[in-house]
Amino acid sequence: MLKKRIIPCLDVKNGRTVKGVNFENLRDAGDAIELAALYAQQGADELVFLDITATIEERATFIDFVKNVAKELDIPFTVGGGINSKERVSDLLKAGADKVSINSSAVKTPDLINELSLEFGSQCIVVAVDTKRIDQKDFVFVHAGKTNTGLDTFKWLREVEQRGAGEILLTSMDHDGTKSGFDNDMLVKVADTLNIPIIASGGAGSVEHFIDVFEKGLADAALAASVFHFGEIPIPKLKEALSKNNIPVRL
C-alpha cells in the first residue's frame, strides 16, 4: 500500500513564510528556507513552496531562491507561482525543484498542461486548484483566490487529469486557515472521480483532522501550513498518531 504523505506548505513572499485565513490577512511565519530545513529534519515527506504574489504581480518565481532551497533539502519539493512556460519550468527543475505547480496559467491556457507533461513527464506536473462553494456549487478561483473563473471544479479536475497532470493540489478556500478540518465530503467525491493522486489542502487544525482526511476524504497526501509553522502539531507526533490509526506513513 502506498504511504500517505505529510506536506508542509510554505507560502512565500520576499523570502518569508506568510499565512492568512481564507487567503486574506497575511502574517509572518518565519524564514522560508530555515523552516524548510526544520521540516525535512522532522520527517516531512515533501514540501511545497508557493510564491503567492508571483501571478498577480506578473513576476516569476525566483530561481535563486529555489537553488538555495535545493542546497538545504534532501526531500522532494514543489515550486509554484507565476509559472506559465516550458522555459520557466525547465529553469526551476534545473535549479533543483522536483515538481512544479501551476494554477492560474493552467486555467488561462489549458494546453500548457499537455505541453508540460509531454516535455517533462507528468510526475513533475502538479496542477493546483483553489475551489470555493457558492450557492451549493463548487467553482475554481485563480489569482491567489481573488478571481472566480466560473469553471465547475469537478469538470475542471477531470479535464486536468485528461490533459496529463500527475497530481492535484486541491485547496478548499472555505476551509483554508480556519482549522476546522479538511473538506472531506468534497475530497471523497474527487477521489471517486479521478485516478491521479490528490493532495488535500485547507482546514487542518488538529491531529484528528489529518486522520479524517485519509480515512474519510481518501486523500493521498495532506498539506498544511500554520499548524506546522507555529508549532501547533509537531510532524513526528502527527506521524506517530497516523501510524497508530493504521494509516501507512513513512516514519
Residue 25 has pLDDT above 70, yes or no: no
Q: Please name the fold of domain 5-244.
A: TIM Barrel (3.20.20)
Residue 60 has pLDDT above 70, yes or no: no
Report the mean per-residue pLDDT for the chain: 90
Catalytic residue status for 174: no
Which is nearest to 51 in space by CA: 86, 1, 85, 92? 92
Catalytic residue status for 31: no
Q: What pTM was computed for the model? A: 0.91
CA distances 170 to 61, 153, 173, 177, 244, Å, are: 21, 10, 9, 14, 26
Give domain limits for the chain. Answer: 5-244
DSSP secondary structure letter of residue 123: G
Look at 62 and 115; give whichever has higher pLDDT: 115
| Cα distance between residue 115 and residue 99, in whole Å | 15
Q: Which of 11, 51, 176, 183 is catalytic?
A: 11
Q: Which of 130, 176, 183, 220 is catalytic?
A: 130
Q: What is the mean pLDDT of residues 38-42?
A: 94
Q: What is the pLDDT of residues 115-137, one digit of tens each?
A: 999 999 999 999 999 999 999 99
